[in-house]
Amino acid sequence: MAIKFGRPIELRDAPKRRTALASPPLDLTIRPRRNRKAEWARRLVRENVLTTDDLIWPLFVVNGHNVRTPVASMPGVDRLSVDQAVRDAERAAKLNIPCIALFPYTEPSLRDEQGSEALNPDNLVCQSVRAIKKEFPDIGVLCDVALDPFTSHGHDGLIEDGKILNDETVAVLVKQALVQAEAGCDIIAPSDMMDGRVGAIREALDAEGFGDVQIMAYAAKYASAFYGPFRDAIGSAKTLTGDKRTYQMDSANSDEALREVELDIAEGADMVMVKPGMPYLDIVRRVKDTFAMPTFVYQVSGEYAMIAGAARNGWIDGERAMMESLVGFKRAGADGILTYFAPQAAEKLRERE
């Protein structure tokens, strides 16, 4: 008598049942599994590929020299002093990663209500852009435009009576973009979600002789819990008062994302972005299908932390989960991905060559 879970099964009952092994082959001419029979066959029918050309690598910069401080909530990610950011830019260049993105950890003493440090032509971001461009002029450098790394309250804009001011903030963002363009930045990426900022920045860039500087708009950016580790990294987690729901999008909305993207394109965005990534793949697909624009997706800090953290604990195969998540973005229609996994993924892709 075979003991199964629950009711014991008498062996002599067996012939009456059709076990899988005993049943004859089904009469099927179409068998999708045929195309999956071997790796060479799977490669032949593969619909989407990830290449290093798809990657943008975000870096965190901090004061000092020869500094690499780990970000606790992002295992494997460090805050880098400018000289070390240059070394990572070199790594990116060697790995053939086309572009890096820069985010500063601003000293608390330099943060104020207005985020004035954003307009300092010698702030950490500008220093990094100059140092990286000097050694590696051929790598693309993207700079975020928003005030949160610089404000004492951690918001992306100016506040009055607890309200984030739109038009006043846009005026400051325009100046921030110009300061970064002056430093040599290639792509300006407004992440603040103020209305009208893309048009205002475009106009100012053109007027000041930066007609070649591109704009990648964080067009559909959601108010998300997945930004938590990033706020640790730039030191705004503790200072942030309230949340960002009056300017970042409600995660329940999808049509609204199309309206946001449409406006940014009309205002002159060269590329658009959806952020976060994994919980918003449907948005990536809709945006790509609707506008056929260069469409980017940001696999944000919390997504990185989930994969890297689980991998570190041995709960998932980190490398496979990384590659699966990245090709998922390609499948959803993304032309490129901002991801903290960029160097690991590029190394993995190189192994395959």
Nearest to 219 by CA among 298, 330, 331, 327: 298
What binding mask, one character per residue, do residues 300-319 give for ligand PBG by CB under 6 A, x or -? xx------------------
Q: Tell me, yes or no, if 275 is annotated catalytic.
A: yes
Residue 5, classed as helix, strand or coil, is: coil
CB of 197 to ligand PBG, least distance (A): 12
The stretch near ligand PBG (CB under 6 A) out of 42-50, 165-173, 227-235, 307-315 is 227-235
Total chain residues near ligand PBG (CB under 6 A): 12
- Distance (Å, whole) CA 72 – CA 66: 19
Cβ atoms of 149 and 234 within 8 Å: the answer is yes
The footprint of ligand PBG on residues 273-302 (CB under 6 A) is 300-301
Strand 158-160 to strand 140-145: parallel, antiparallel, or no bridges (unpaired)?
unpaired
Q: How would DSSP label each residue in 35-101?
A: GGSSHHHHHHH------GGGEEEEEEE-SSSS-EEE-TTSTT-EEE-HHHHHHHHHHHHHTT--EEE
CB of 301 to ligand PBG, least distance (A): 3
The correct pick among 54, 148, 186, 264 for binding ligand PBG (CB under 6 A) is 148
**Per CB under 6 A, does 146 bind ligand PBG?**
yes
CB of 48 to ligand PBG, least distance (A): 23
**Per CB under 6 A, does 329 bind ligand PBG?**
no
What binding mask, one character per residue, do residues 106-145 give for ligand PBG by CB under 6 A, x or -? --------------------------------------x-
**Per CB under 6 A, does 191 bind ligand PBG?**
yes
- Residue matched to tokens 């690598």: 57
Q: Tell me, yes or no, if 221 is annotated catalytic.
A: yes
Sign of the CA dihedral running 100, 103, 107, 112 = positive
- Distance (Å, whole) CA 209 – CA 222: 32
Output the residue with the shortest Cβ distance to ligand PBG.
230
Element spanning 230, H or E: helix 228-233
Tell me which residues are annotated as active site: 221, 275
Q: Which residues bind ligand PBG (CB under 6 A)?
A: 144, 146, 148, 156, 191-192, 227, 230-231, 244, 300-301
